[in-house]
Structure 1
Amino acid sequence: MKNYIFIVGLLFPYVLFAQNITGKVINDTNEPLVGASVYWANTTTGTTTDINGEFSLSTKSTSTSVLVASYVGHTSDTLKVTNQTFVNFTLKASKSLNEVVIKGQRDGVLISNLNPIKTEHITQTELGKAACCDLAGCFETQTTVQPQTTNVITNSKELRILGLSGVYNQVLIDGFPMIQGLTYTYGISSIPGTLVDNIFISKGANSVLQGFESISGQINVETKDPTNTDKLLLNAYINSFSEKHFNANYAFKKGKWSNLTAVHTVQPANAFDKDEDTFLDLPKLTRYMVYNKLNYGNEAHWGWHSKVTVRYVNEQRIGGQTNFNADTDQGSNTVYGQTVNINQPEIWTKTGLRLNDQHHFVLYASSFYQDQKSYFGTVKYDANQTNFYANLQYELNYGNHALKTGLSFRHLDIDEDIAFTDNTLQRTYDGDYFRNENIIGAFAENTMSLLNDKLTWILGIRLDNHNQFGTQVTPRTLLKYDLTPSTIIRANIGTGWRTVNLFSENIGLLASSRDIIFEEQLQPEKALNMGINITQKFDTDNMSGFISADYYRTSFKNQIFPDYDTDPTKAYISNFTGTSRSNVFQTEVYLNFWQQLEFKTGYSFLDVYRVIDNQKEQLPFNPKHKVVTSLGYKPLSNKFRIDLNFHWYGEQRLPNTQSNPIEFQRPDFSETYMLVNTQFTYNLNKFELYAGCENIFDFRQEQPIISWQDPFGPYFDTSSVWGPTRGRELYIGMRFKIPSK
């Protein structure tokens, strides 16, 4: 009976609540205007647009039918509302205020008051404060997301939210699940920072529209759009290790068509071994990428619209001992090395038809193929993956509701072949591993505004049928309540589940000498996440900003985490159905003084543990306490800017090595440490010069590899990396831009 009421309330709540009008405000180049004012003429009833330029406003208790939209530096516009439920405003820039508009710049981090899901919006302003060579480097100034090294030899990384492994948050590229399976290991490093336009981060249970994952959160990376980016962008970068990056973007528009083409390459660093453990401090990375995005039409307008993006990546990583030669020593049992060779074509497309203000159909489709050939010492790992995703969605705006419902399909085919070129250690996990998944899903999500727009309620549910694990149900609900126009409280609760791809998600297992023992067939991981947060915004003549505080709890019903502690020469893999939880508290303060001086600081408390034999056991590599602080200054002329950020990490529990021989033992906990980074940027017409230093005080975790003296012995392990391993890094770069007209 409860389920019936839930579904009826989800699909047909329009009989219960009052009328709203929604819409969007853009400028004459189709860019959304964030923070534009929309109000009923001659009244004090109004609202502001969110990060997408969208708004929702009640028609209840208003005596006028004239709606006004205004934005600083633009000419206001009015529109008479008759029976519409969705309207568009296009505001033209005011010529008399051109100089003011040019000087204006968005804050680095935005949190919309309108979005029911607390979403941190990282803008181009924030991304410009660091080198941001790739996506993994775009979170240097963020508290919510923590990049974590998963294999120090090839420098693979993951993005953690709520103290949990990166596999539990969903990384989307333009709303598509392109980081999945094999692409999880190196995918976030293959997106160049010059291609990233905006990043949207949300913690905890999210919308069900993109799938059933996102247990700990979601990171949606929005690549640059040809309709509102520079006509030409050139970027060149080199660091003190002599790693070189070059990027070029070119965009054009003609009528309803627009196109962006980008190329990207990375050329390898020189050989460095500062801690004299005979291993390279960073791998030699060579990458080539070609990208093209073609757009037709405008999603906010009636009629057809489409976006088609294609990308191709070729990448090689070489790491290991300094005398390792990739041409002659692959698979060698005398010189240790790791090589990774990847070829990956991708395509994703979004095509829609907006019939009118109420009805909108959208088809999302994406596919990629990856061919990977790798060696990890004497472990040969060849793998390929074919991935296909489709989502047909119908959107209905009615009254004060927005209903989105549809069908989805996922196909994932992975073939992994593992062989040993030498098996002196008598490891047993070689062989062929196949995964073939077909998942058919149906979903519905309704967003409603109640109590004169003070309360926004999202109800969503998914039903997915997995070809191996049967039907899975994923319900989620999210609430937003406006205590005042600038004080917002949000809460969310929901479940999530995911299937495991063990080797690509735990690449350090292949890099170590451990044998891998599968104790049982692995089941899907499942968890319940709940959270609450409050955001207080303020805006005066001289200062703007926000204060936020969050608490989230994740409780796993089944979790798969390799057991490294029982035996130093083995990793045991099994389902864990006991108590496994993550409790996270985070608070953040952001202040902007006179549009010149920015200050941001955030504190995170992580309590991530399992209960084994009635004992609470902290999971490794999670600093219980972490502080991130950043300072930035730029004059009103925007001629230059200086940015400085500090990261302080508390101690982290490390895997137990007490059963190792004494020379291969490590402490149970890491040191506390602090990193300080800085960057100076100078604007010279169309040129922008930047130079910086990461890890100014040259803190390093010395000799992070266990048993580096004997890389083919039974105790060799790369899994105890808890801090920076390559020390101070200097860099210099140049950007050249020709803005679009």
Structure 2
Amino acid sequence: MNRFIIVTILVFCAGISLFAQANKEITGVVKANDKNKVTELVGANVYWANTQAGTVTDYNGQFAIDQPKGSVLLVVSYIGYKPDTIKVRNQQHFEVILQSDQLDEVLVAGKKAGSHMSRLDPMTKVNITGAELCKAACCNLSESFETNASVDVSYSDAATGAKQIQLLGLSGNYVQMMTENIPNFRGLATLYGLNYIPGAWMESIQISKGTATVINGYEALTGQINVEYKKPVNSEKFFLNMYANNTGRWESNVNGSIHLNDKWTTAILAHYSEDQKSTDDNDDGFRDEPLLKQLNFMNRWDFNNKNGFTSQIGIKVLDENRLGGQMGFNGSKPSDQLHGNSNDTLYGINIDTRRYEGFYKAGYLFDDEYTSVALVANYSFHEQNSFYGRKQYDAEQRSFYANLIFQSIIGDENSKYSTGLSFQSDEFDEVLLMDFQSPDEVQILKREEIVPGAFFQYTYNIPDRLTIIAGGRVDFHNDFGTLFTPRLHAKYNITPNTILRASAGKGYRTPNVLAENSYLLASSRQIIIADNLDQEEAWNYGANITQYINIAGRELTLNAEYYRTDFKNQLIVDADQSTDAVYFYNLNGDSYANNFQIEGKYELFRGLDVVAAWRLNDVKATYNGDLMTRPLISRTKGLFNLSYSTPLKKWQFDFTTQFNGEGRVPSTASNPPEYQRPDSFDAYQIVNSQITKYFRKWNVYVGVENLGDFKQNDPIIAGDDPFGDNFDSSLIWGPVMGRRIYMGIRFSIDRE
């Protein structure tokens, strides 16, 4: 039925294309010249004189517009700059530089957009820029979504510091994590990978909702999150960031880039952080966050021969140690817990991680500027040695990814296609001891996943009106056979200021039970895994409508969207059957997630941006025969953000409130009364704020996270008896840490 719907839509769109007028498309970029400094202009107006046909420039200052018959005068305008009129004859691409219309002694300063959605992209994609990342401490990727209404980040448990994201009401397992369009942080890196990307390394983040295109694989059941690192060609010559907070965490980031000649550039990104102060704000005897040491290093080289060929090569090395558990435990091996008599025994957690990555990219752009070929390859080795009380878990993962992509046009630039071959392999070696004192009771898990594949994707565009992306891929899995993945995206401009987007598609995912859920070992629950687990399979479809309204010379942006994910097969993590165990088995029944969100953005007055959003999560799955709401997820979410920048951007003030609705908690009724918890949690809110003072080459920032000092009461069950039968740190729905005050400094020598 779903395939029939997609085929019907494609046929309908093909019919539309037969009647579309093949007007010539004019493209270009609009820039501004202020004090001899040229920068791209976001939101500049581009329109044909004496017509209603127009558009605005995107985040990169670029535009594309159809040329109506008889129109030759193209007008470009922006508030504060002299408009320019271009006579268009045979040329199809223009670079327009607008001059300031202010007097020389008056300095005009603009505020760069923090996050935005491109008007040209057919996918529902939110771009988070470096300006948005500076609104909060943003020590790493996990802290980059505090001002974003679409992505939630929360702790997986109250003992290990593991974090997970949620998108469209589902956990991060169903979101394809990417670094520069390379699938990354899978398997063993799922729980802690958000901490592996320092904030100072990121150039931008792209959040795509719904199924992604088929180019990057068959995963991305609910969306993609792609991180773009800073590039040697345009990043700072030198950048330094120092950060510290009142709980004892501090970090240092040093980045530098060198232009060796007109073809070779290189960059070094280095990070070191420590959190060596034990805190126990909730008085349960356990560290609220594990003690942490992380060393992170990246070196990349870029080559451009200025004749169509480019390449990149880089390495990344990470070493991290997490030490958690009861206050006072400082051991490095499980036996360190068994000193003295049993009354003195302390429960400890130690997670020691080493990760090595290498990547290579190469691309060639042919002379017609529409045809290109690219190769992307990445290899990673991840090793984790860990223990959780008496449980010991050691694992290794070796992953290789390669993607060969060819792109060209059919006839003209409004009809494009991409095709290619891909290869993904993952090798897991896992060893689990449920009690290191009984080494004979060991589980050894070995698994190898080899998946070659091929894809084809077609893009049809009627400029300023309709864009269709239709694609499919076939993958050959060594365990699960042939996988077919169809996906469709469409964007329709109802008016120049009203844009409708829709998508539908299928996705698959291979669950890695222990690697992705090792935080559950920090409990007394048994781990019970069903035999012969199948791949997860789901359909995702939804729509987004965006309305732009001009009010008092400023643009109000309104978004409304709905997405649904239907699972045909899913790995169920069942903590409801018993308080003594967690069961892993394939879905037998219904499982779905409905997600509805509305959002508005407006510059209330010059310098003050306001963002307000509200979201409804309706997420249910069949647990042991009963259709129930997924636990530990707020049914409703809200966000309100104020960001004010003074004239000339000498000061910036940011204030964010996150509203979290009520939700369900797995039953603990079979526990002794003192270890029982309510079957639901109430609504709560988190408030964050930050003040930044800007100087010529550096800035200082001071902020507060969780200003209201809200904490989940008694997050750890039986913390007074961690080696007993009722100990559980996994029923987490709210923050474990209380109020945190931080400060930092950023210093940069920018590249001209």
Q: TM-score with structure 1 length normalisation?
A: 0.92
Aligned counterparts, 1:234-633, within 5 A: 234-253=240-259, 254-297=261-304, 303-327=308-332, 332=337, 334-355=345-366, 356-397=368-409, 398-422=412-436, 430-450=442-462, 453-611=464-622, 615-633=626-644
Q: Answer yes or no: is the 8 Å Cα contact 1:24–1:49 preserved in 2.
A: no
Which deviates more, 719-728 or 223-232? Answer: 223-232
Q: Cα–Cα, structure 1 residues 99 and 594, in superposed 2: closer, same or farther, change >3 Å?
A: farther
Report the CA distance between 1:399 and its aligned residue: 4.0
Report the CA distance between 1:93 and its aligned residue: 7.6
Q: Cα–Cα, structure 1 residues 659 and 24, in superposed 2: closer, same or farther, change >3 Å?
A: farther
- SS of the residue aligned with 2:514? helix
State the match for 2:342 in structure 1. none
- SS of the residue aligned with 1:718? coil
Q: CA–CA distance in 2 between the matches of 1:22 and 1:514? A: 63
Q: What is the letter of the counterpart of residue 349 of structure 1?
A: Y
Q: CA–CA distance in 2 between the matches of 1:645 and 1:737? A: 27
Q: Answer yes or no: is the 8 Å Cα contact 2:162–2:519 preserved in 1.
A: no
Q: CA–CA distance in 2 between the matches of 1:196 and 1:491? A: 29
State the match for 2:192 in structure 1. 186
**Structure 2 residue aligned with 1:203, among 187, 205, 209?**
209
Q: Cα–Cα, structure 1 residues 327 and 456, in superposed 2: closer, same or farther, change >3 Å?
A: closer
Which deviates more, 251-260 or 587-596? Answer: 251-260
Q: Cα–Cα, structure 1 residues 462 and 595, in superposed 2: closer, same or farther, change >3 Å?
A: farther
State the match for 1:133 in structure 2. 139
**Structure 2 residue aligned with 1:675, among 686, 699, 702?**
686
Q: Answer yes or no: is the 8 Å Cα contact 1:513–1:715 preserved in 2.
A: yes
- SS of the residue aligned with 1:509? helix
Q: Cα–Cα, structure 1 residues 260 and 37, in superposed 2: closer, same or farther, change >3 Å?
A: farther
- SS of the residue aligned with 1:394? strand
Report the CA distance between 1:445 and its aligned residue: 1.3
Q: Cα–Cα, structure 1 residues 614 and 649, in superposed 2: closer, same or farther, change >3 Å?
A: same
Report the CA distance between 1:292 and its aligned residue: 2.0
Aligned counterparts, 1:708-723, within 5 A: 708-723=719-734
Report the CA distance between 1:105 and its aligned residue: 2.6
Report the CA distance between 1:63 and its aligned residue: 3.9
1:273-319 deviation line (CA, Å, top 9, x unaligned): 12221111111110111112322239xx8611222232111111111
Q: Answer yes or no: is the 8 Å Cα contact 2:587–2:622 preserved in 1.
A: no
Which deviates more, 495-504 or 604-613? Answer: 604-613
Q: What is the letter of the counterpart of residue 357 of structure 2?
A: E
Q: CA–CA distance in 2 between the matches of 1:295 and 1:545? A: 40
* Mapped pair 1:25 → 2:26: no
**Structure 2 residue aligned with 1:50, among 58, 69, 79?**
58
Structure 2 residue runs without a partner (length 5+) = 339-344
Q: Answer yes or no: is the 8 Å Cα contact 1:68–1:79 preserved in 2.
A: no
Q: Answer yes or no: is the 8 Å Cα contact 1:154–1:319 preserved in 2.
A: yes
1:332-373 deviation line (CA, Å, top 9, x unaligned): 353211111111111223211100222111111111111111
Q: Answer yes or no: is the 8 Å Cα contact 1:69–1:89 preserved in 2.
A: no
Q: Cα–Cα, structure 1 residues 184 and 690, in superposed 2: closer, same or farther, change >3 Å?
A: same
* Mapped pair 1:105 → 2:119: no
Q: CA–CA distance in 2 between the matches of 1:292 and 1:613? A: 49
Q: Answer yes or no: is the 8 Å Cα contact 2:30–2:44 preserved in 1.
A: no
1:550-597 deviation line (CA, Å, top 9, x unaligned): 111111001112111112111111110411011111111111133311
Q: Answer yes or no: is the 8 Å Cα contact 2:334–2:390 preserved in 1.
A: no
State the match for 1:649 in structure 2. 660
Q: Cα–Cα, structure 1 residues 329 and 132, in superposed 2: closer, same or farther, change >3 Å?
A: same
**Structure 1 residue aligned with 2:696, among 664, 685, 690?**
685
RMSD of Structure 2 on Structure 1 (CA): 3.0
Q: Answer yes or no: is the 8 Å Cα contact 2:157–2:731 preserved in 1.
A: no
Report the CA distance between 1:5 and its aligned residue: 9.2
Q: CA–CA distance in 2 between the matches of 1:7 and 1:629? A: 39
1:243-275 deviation line (CA, Å, top 9, x unaligned): 101001112334133322111110123111122
1:170-216 deviation line (CA, Å, top 9, x unaligned): 11111111111111121111101111111111211221111111111
Q: Cα–Cα, structure 1 residues 234 and 393, in superposed 2: closer, same or farther, change >3 Å?
A: same
- SS of the residue aligned with 2:284? coil
Q: What is the letter of the counterpart of residue 369 of structure 2?
A: D
Q: CA–CA distance in 2 between the matches of 1:79 and 1:354? A: 30
Report the CA distance between 1:228 and its aligned residue: 2.5
Q: Answer yes or no: is the 8 Å Cα contact 1:579–1:611 preserved in 2.
A: yes
Q: Answer yes or no: is the 8 Å Cα contact 1:199–1:222 preserved in 2.
A: yes
1:141-177 deviation line (CA, Å, top 9, x unaligned): 1110000211321211111101101100111111111
- SS of the residue aligned with 1:185? coil
Q: Cα–Cα, structure 1 residues 52 and 474, in superposed 2: closer, same or farther, change >3 Å?
A: farther
- SS of the residue aligned with 1:561? strand
Q: CA–CA distance in 1 between the matches of 2:556 and 2:588? A: 43
Q: Cα–Cα, structure 1 residues 243 and 455, in superposed 2: closer, same or farther, change >3 Å?
A: same
Report the CA distance between 1:68 and its aligned residue: 7.9
Q: CA–CA distance in 2 between the matches of 1:101 and 1:724? A: 44
Q: CA–CA distance in 1 between the matches of 2:392 and 2:48? A: 67
Q: What is the letter of the counterpart of residue 416 of structure 2?
A: A
Which deviates more, 641-650 or 396-405? Answer: 396-405
Matched residues, number: 732
Report the CA distance between 1:658 and its aligned residue: 1.1
Q: CA–CA distance in 2 between the matches of 1:320 and 1:22? A: 62
Q: CA–CA distance in 1 between the matches of 2:11 and 2:662? A: 50
- SS of the residue aligned with 1:512? coil
Structure 1 residue runs without a partner (length 5+) = none
Q: What is the letter of the counterpart of residue 550 of structure 1?
A: E
Which deviates more, 197-206 or 467-476? Answer: 197-206
Q: Answer yes or no: is the 8 Å Cα contact 1:481–1:489 preserved in 2.
A: yes
* Mapped pair 1:218 → 2:232: no
Q: CA–CA distance in 1 between the matches of 2:716 and 2:708? A: 22
Q: Answer yes or no: is the 8 Å Cα contact 1:330–1:375 preserved in 2.
A: no
Report the CA distance between 1:427 and its aligned residue: 11
Report the CA distance between 1:631 and its aligned residue: 1.1
Report the CA distance between 1:538 and its aligned residue: 2.6
- SS of the residue aligned with 1:400? strand
Q: Answer yes or no: is the 8 Å Cα contact 1:50–1:115 preserved in 2.
A: no
Which deviates more, 224-233 or 12-21? Answer: 12-21
Q: CA–CA distance in 2 between the matches of 1:667 and 1:344? A: 40
Q: TM-score with structure 2 length normalisation?
A: 0.90
